[in-house]
A and B are shown apart, each in its own frame.
Chain A
């Protein structure tokens, strides 16, 4: 105990005598630890953000899409992915016969130019059935949503997301009762939806122009669907339902011509892509930690040279090589840990402010990583200078002026 206090006192004396040097040396580690933590925090935030996006959609949704885009939770490219087969009304009818299925919703999306008066915007048309609103829990803010009747009668009506309504009409309530032109075809606006949030990484429901899919055939002359959304019953086993859907689809398509995707699969796939990107960024940031470590090593060599005489005295009165080694190792670890703690603190302050616009956060693991890594750097980059100090000959050291 006494021994440790002596070692610490000796270290802190030198740090306070060389405040500027101590700070600059720690600065390297500070910057490294800070950037690593910020990137980890951003990655965690991104994950949380994506999760929130998906949570805003209804759970127990299954998507039937063309091609094989998901394999083992990650995207897989290659032949057949996107634009393989396209589905049609027959598939929808067959899928409705699967048990534990609440809704089977055909969807067709297309980027279109929508215009109202002088305003025009490029946005996504979402051509679908009226069940989509219940399935995705979309409610009208103004006016009403289109009905099954509208779909069957091919009524040319549209429901706008609040963002696109704002852009075209200035305000969503003004849009209702008006009309827009989609690629030259006039559609009557019967409602505007509540804001659903999203956009950015998920689908931007607030910018959709919803039209009944049969009216939407105008833009889709082959009467094909790009995806079929299936909402399973609340008590259904999602995996069983998925299997049932696959069996139905297999009667008409080959195995690699379509995929049935669970919401969580999609979430996992997206998350895994961002995790890899984040890992790459964190690795790059970690290089700055190595640079910081070299800074510490350099200063420790200087410190050892400055204190050769002290080392000689300590050796003469009975310090072993190990005592000298541990003394200098403790100093380099303190230097590095100090930098790490300051980096952590600074990162925490930055994250605190960033949280107002982005859900980045620092978890306990990150804190342990930061402190563990800075300690490790202190040891790894301190061990060579400390070894040099320990290996000095006592006689030469004590004679050194």
Chain B
């Protein structure tokens, strides 16, 4: 489903000074896989996540999403692909505090360019029920707990029925018990909703939830 071929990513720190975050990454992620990308901070895993999540383009090498080379896509096409193909779950939850829980979940459908084959409202309510916070639909994100916020974020990631859910340190801001619950939920979703899940983490025990662990260090796959 996603293929990276010898991908490099450089960042310009200053005039003429570059930092090479990724040094020739080649990986392939298949549909309905549950994979984790593990590495210490500075290993380049966030950069890798941005590339897989279509937030950025490689400096060198090719990325194929469903056999389509993304380097040729325009900014608008990348946005549309993010909207339809990927769902993000962030460490910081990244909900919009001025919108209710339900509105946050609905937000990706607001930006949808294709005609949806489902009713957004219905779908959002179903997902909130699925992640176990249906009663918070009309609350505001800053009025609910971190674990609940992360569940909202998961519901938001799923609303467009994406092929891929990309979770960046999804348990980084919640306590261990909640973290375990979140991981359990993601596993269930992988099985029941048939979505591909990629988790980016530096914690080995979180990475261990995945069936496949890709280790990254100094911009290279170990």
Contact = CB atoms under 8 A, between A and B. Distances in A.
Contacts of B185: none
A250 interface: no
B76 A317 contact: no
A400 B89 CA distance: 16
Contacts of B1: none
Contacts of B55: 315-316, 394-395, 398
Contact of A3 (B56, B76, B90, B110): B110
A398 to B, nearest CB: 7
Given A9-B99, A317-B156, A2 B110 contact: yes
A394 B98 CA distance: 20
Given A3-B110, A6-B103, A6-B110, A318 B94 contact: no
Given A395-B55, A395-B56, A315 B79 contact: yes
Contacts of A14: 98
A255 interface: no
Nearest to B100: A9
Contact of A318 (B80, B98, B99, B103): B80
Contact of A398 (B87, B94, B95): B94
A317 B80 CA distance: 9
A6 B112 CA distance: 13
B111 interface: yes
A44 B129 CA distance: 64
Interface string A42-76: 00000000000000000000000000000000000
B56 A398 contact: no
A155 B99 CA distance: 92
B50 A317 contact: no
A10 interface: yes
A394 B82 CA distance: 11
Interface stretch (A125-133, A192-200, A319-327, A343-351): A319-327
A388 interface: no
Residue among A13, A318, A321 having the largest count of chain B Cβ atoms under 10 Å = A318
Given A6-B110, A395-B56, A317 B82 contact: yes
A316 B168 CA distance: 13
A6 B103 CA distance: 9
B24 interface: no
A317 B75 contact: no
Contact of B82 (A2, A6, A318): A318
B222 to A, nearest CB: 25
Interface string B98-140: 1100010001111110000000100000000000000000000
B204 interface: no
B96 A313 contact: yes
Given A394-B55, A398-B90, A319 B98 contact: no
Residue among B79, B84, B87, B88 having the largest count of chain A Cβ atoms under 10 Å = B79
A314 interface: yes
10 contacts: A6-B99, A6-B103, A10-B98, A13-B98, A313-B96, A317-B88, A318-B83, A318-B112, A322-B76, A395-B55
Interface of A: 2-3, 6, 9-10, 13-14, 17, 309-310, 312-323, 394-395, 398
Q: Nearest 10 CB-CB pairs, A to B? A: A318-B83, A13-B98, A318-B111, A320-B79, A317-B108, A319-B111, A313-B94, A318-B82, A6-B110, A320-B76
Given A317-B107, A318-B80, A318-B111, 19 more contacts: A2-B110, A9-B98, A9-B99, A313-B94, A314-B107, A316-B82, A317-B82, A317-B87, A317-B111, A318-B82, A318-B83, A318-B108, A320-B75, A320-B80, A321-B79, A394-B55, A395-B50, A395-B55, A398-B90
